[in-house]
Amino acid sequence: MSQIMGQPVTEDADGPAKPLLGIEQLGKRFGGFVALDTVDLAVPQGQRLGLIGPNGSGKSTLVNCISGTLQNETGSVAFNGERVDGMPAHRRARLGLARSFQLPRPFRSMTVAENIRVPLIYTVGARAGFHLTSSELEDRCMEVLSLVALQDKAGKNPFDLTQVEMRKLELARAMAAEPKLLIADESMAGLSHSEVEDIVALLIRMNERGVTIIMIEHIMRAVMAFSQRLVVLVSGRKIADGAPADVIKDEDVVRAYLGT
Amino acid sequence: MQFDLLINAIIAGVMLGGFYAAVTAGISISFGMLDIVNIAHPGFIVLGSYIAYIVNAQFGVDPIITAIVALPVFYALGTLVYGIYFQSFEKRGQDSMRGLAFFFGLLFVTEVGLNLVFGVDYRSVDASYIGGSLKLGIMEFPLRMLVPALVSFVMFAGLQLYMSRTFIGRAVMAVSQDPQALELMAVDPTRIKRIAFSISMATCSLAGAFLIIIQPVLPSSGREYIGRVFAVCVLGGLGSLPGTLIAALLIGVIESITATFYGPSWSPAVSFGLLLLTLAVRPSGLLGR
Amino acid sequence: MRTPLFTSILILIAAALYMAFRYLGNDYLFFAGYVVLQYIVIATAWNILGGYCGYVNFGSAGFFAIGVYCTIFFYNIGQSPGDVFPDFMLTPMGWIFPLPLPILIVLGGFFAGLVGLGMGYLTLRLRGVFFAIATLALAVVLETFVVNWPFVGGSRGAYVIPPENIPVFGTFIQYLFVLMLLLVVLALAAARLIERSRLGVGFATIRDDELAAETCGVPTLRLKLVATAVSGALFGMAGAPFPFYIGYVEPNSAFNLSYAVNAIAMPMIGGTTTWIGPMIGALLLSTLQQVVTVTISSAANLLITGLLLIGFVILAPKGLVGLWQGWTGRSAKP
């Protein structure tokens, strides 16, 4: 049985555990433009975190810096007690960090199933230290695909998928890596009501099995239903961080969304 | 080290650098700003050289005049090439590999085509200022290098003004940084890119004239310049015209000094070596974003 | 089909081909055949980095030439060891030199692979475009070094004189032909093995989307270095026997642009996603080039190659293999 849905959480006898993800004073510039400005964020193991903010606020840059797609310039990123800044993305993936891309980036020369095989081979297999056999690969592939209801499209090329299906594939590919921390970047754009509910339910199930999840979304319904904690990012700065019900009533947050 | 030899090597280097700037200006636009790796650019420069050669041989017209007259022709050629490139590659998405192969094929076909038409002999031009030089004390300015260098600086200044002052020029700078913002301003990014690419191709006309004034030309001359062109571009920083000029002068001087004191056979290695070094150490170049 | 079986079939075909040529008795077949085989290796070598990983190498001639000049270097040592080694080393060196061709091939491959690795380490962390430009630069830098190095002949060139006859094979060209046949078997088997392995999956992700590949755990830099080293090594191995084939080598012929163009054109025309594409492209283009050179001219030959490259890249980006797959509706790999 694979670990896609996470592992059972065991209580740490020493008391409150160190945060799974610890971001301190994170900074990132593009030339003269400051994309992230001294962001602090500590995410404990097992949390469901919602991250919201207007377009251009730096959410994707933050995700990129966490996953290693970009390297932060100042501050630090620690995962599972280990400093990961400077580490290339593939090493962070093997440590248990997975992310989906806001604009889906499937491997276009491969089928849907082959897309899922990549993290199975290069993250799960690499982590375990041995190669999964072809039948194991196939089983896990279909397992992941059925979680997002894409099993019938296994042999299709991403070119033949709808936008919605591509987003699901994107999420599935991240899930296939059996992460400890999953960052879902706008995975639900364009989905119907019931599809949104399905994905939220799926993510909550994963979380109940121990996967820490950061959800970046614009669909407030989903964010509120999912998040135990809400963080708001505006112009590269964290302006609010706390219980969702409180955060959405916060003055600064309201002003950021409604504008001045 | 003989002082006057060094001074004249530096002077030659500056003039050479001015020429390199003209050669590279087009690439600075197409590669630096539009992200199109037109490695056929030096091939088109050599094409410009040969056009200047025929007109000069048949009618005795000064090559720079020919080049200016030929500017619209090269502009149109640029539009054509961009059209093919856009339809075949950019529209279809990623696959930069094929785009590169396309331009490499163009470079190759241009060279071989010129080979078939003109043969492998050196060609050069006749003009009133070739052969003479301006002497100021121990400093010597060979006119065949001075005239192209001066015109090149003028051309460069013109380009820089165009890029920074006109609407289209600034749109080109914008499209390299944020095509979406451009669309929001109701400007068609494709049209802007097409114009920019055509301008970059037009510079080949003048650069070609400069080349054949400075030295005799072979169909394969283009290939010698690929490394120099990209070395200048990368060293100066992609997308920065002033950076290109500084890098061009720098490389021109270093090459000139190397050639004077160590022999000309090491020249190609200078710029290519600098290119490799820049890529390894500071890929964003001197003034790059 | 498992790799050992495939390799065995290739060896059988190679043996049959050799026997057939020997039976026909015309030495020209061996000379022409050597060139075609050489290009199959070159095209396959290029494709491992270019087709599988998506990183274009414009400096194929440089890597090929490393093999060429490696051979010349060791050959020259073998010819006059007294000039190179101190007296007390002459006897043992006399046993080692002159080095036999298979060893030279391995050495050529080793050094070319090493250079590929080094250059890759410097430039592969950048975008693919910069790597391509760097390969151009590398070829010129290498050529400049060779031109300025008298020991391997410099710009004047170097002579390599093969023995007239050789046991088992008869004429020396048959020996070269067989060696190149073996290299073809090695190259094709290696390419096919890579293509079907997890390594091949990794390469394909690099080609499709390097950023996404990294987030899926693919160690892109490491894989690219492997591809560059393997590709470079194959180029070097293809170049090592060349001095013996041609007798007189000058930098112009070793670093000839036609190697760079053919290395790209053959896989692009044949098809870049499988091991079959480069082979088909090499067979067709090489044969075409021989015909055109003889009937029209060698310059026209290059022109046609260049036009074919442009034509295919624009109109049939998946090459002949892609056209075939589209026509028959198949997409399974052979």
Rounded to two decimals, what is the model's pTM? Answer: 0.88
Q: What is the mean pLDDT of residues C116-136?
A: 83
Residues of chain A with pLDDT under 70: 1-17, 258-260
Q: Minimal Cα–Cα distance from A118 to chain C, Å?
A: 7
Residues of chain B with pLDDT under 50: none
Structural tokens at position A258: 């409604």
Q: What's the CA gap between B38 and A152, in Å, rounded?
A: 43
Cβ atoms of A153 and A165 within 8 Å: the answer is: yes
Of C205, C207, C273, the CB nearest to A118: C205
For residues A164, A165, A169, A175, the Cα torsion angle rounded to the nearest 10 degrees is 70
In B, minimum Cα distance to C142 occurs at B269
Q: Minimal Cα–Cα distance from B166 to chain C, Å?
A: 30
Of C205, C214, C219, the CB nearest to A107: C205
Average pLDDT, chain A: 86
Cβ within 8 Å, pair C216-A173: yes
Q: Minimal Cα–Cα distance from C210 to chain B, Å?
A: 12
Matching residue, tokens 């995962």 = A79
Q: What's the CA gap between C3 and C113, in Å, rounded?
A: 23
Matching residue, tokens 């990209």 = B230
Cβ within 8 Å, pair C214-A173: no
Cβ atoms of A174 and A98 within 8 Å: the answer is: yes
- 3-state secondary structure (DSSP) of residue C158: strand
Cβ within 8 Å, pair C122-B276: yes
- Say how many CA atoms lie within 13 Å of B265 toward its Cβ: 10
Q: What's the CA gap between A11 and C232, in Å, rounded?
A: 53
Q: What's the CA gap between A170 and A162, in Å, rounded?
A: 12
Q: What's the CA gap between C87 and C73, in Å, rounded?
A: 20
Cβ atoms of A182 and A174 within 8 Å: the answer is: yes
List of chain C residues whose C-beta atoms are within 8 Å of the C-beta of residue B231: 137
- For residue A8, the model assigns a pLDDT of 46
Cβ within 8 Å, pair C268-B98: yes
Give the Cβ contact number of residue B67 at 10 Å.
Answer: 28
Is some CB atom of chain A closer than 8 A to the CB atom of C326?
no
- For residue C109, the model assigns a pLDDT of 95
Neighbours of chain B (3+ CB pairs under 8 A): C
Cβ atoms of C175 and A69 within 8 Å: the answer is: no
Cβ within 8 Å, pair C208-A90: no
The interface pTM score, or ipTM, of the predicted complex is 0.88
Cβ atoms of C146 and C69 within 8 Å: the answer is: yes
- Residues of chain A with pLDDT > 90, as a percent, come to 42
Q: Minimal Cα–Cα distance from C173 to chain B, Å?
A: 31
Preferred mutation among A63, A107, A138 to probe C, highest tally of C CBs within 10 A: A107
Q: Minimal Cα–Cα distance from B109 to chain C, Å?
A: 5
Q: Which of C146, C63, C75 is CA-nearest to residue C110?
A: C63
Is some CB atom of chain A closer than 8 A to the CB atom of C213?
yes
Cβ within 8 Å, pair C209-A118: no
Is some CB atom of chain C closer than 8 A to the CB atom of A111?
no
Cα B129 to Cα A127, B125, B126, B146, distances in angstroms:
71, 11, 9, 9
Judge residue C97's burial from the number of C-beta atoms within 10 Å of its C-beta, 0-12 exposed, 13-18 middle, 19 or more buried. middle
List of chain C residues whose C-beta atoms are within 8 Å of the C-beta of residue A67: 215
CB contact set of C287 (below 8 Å; sequence gap of 6+): C36
Phi, psi dihedral angles at C162 (to 5 degrees): -75, 155
Helices (H) and strands (E) in chain A, counts: 10, 10
> Which residue numbers of B have CB closer than 8 Å to C's CBs?
37, 39, 84, 88, 94-98, 100-102, 104-106, 108-109, 111-113, 115-116, 220, 223-224, 226-227, 230-231, 234, 265-266, 268-269, 272-273, 275-276, 279-280, 283
Matching residue, tokens 């509910």 = A197
Do you know the residue count of chain B? 289
Structural tokens at position C131: 């790597």
Q: Minimal Cα–Cα distance from A258 to chain C, Å?
A: 34
- For residue B2, the model assigns a pLDDT of 76
- For residue C172, the model assigns a pLDDT of 86
Q: What's the CA gap between C273 and C54, in Å, rounded?
A: 10
- Beta-strand pair A229-234/A48-52: parallel
Judge residue B254's burial from the number of C-beta atoms within 10 Å of its C-beta, 0-12 exposed, 13-18 middle, 19 or more buried. middle
List of chain C residues whose C-beta atoms are within 8 Å of the C-beta of residue B38: none
Of A89, A106, A126, the CB nearest to C215: A89
List of chain C residues whose C-beta atoms are within 8 Å of the C-beta of residue B265: 144, 147-148, 155
Q: What's the CA gap between A50 and A253, in Å, rounded?
A: 14
In A, minimum Cα distance to C216 occurs at A119
Is some CB atom of chain C closer than 8 A to the CB atom of A117?
yes
- Beta-strand pair A33-43/C248-249: unpaired
- The winner for highest mean pLDDT among C147-161, C224-238, C256-270, C314-328 is C224-238
Using alpha carbons only, how large is chain A's radius of gyration in Å? 18
Q: Which of A32, A31, A30, A33 is CA-nearest to residue A64?
A: A30
Preferred mutation among C119, C121, C126, C141 to probe B, highest tally of B CBs within 10 A: C141
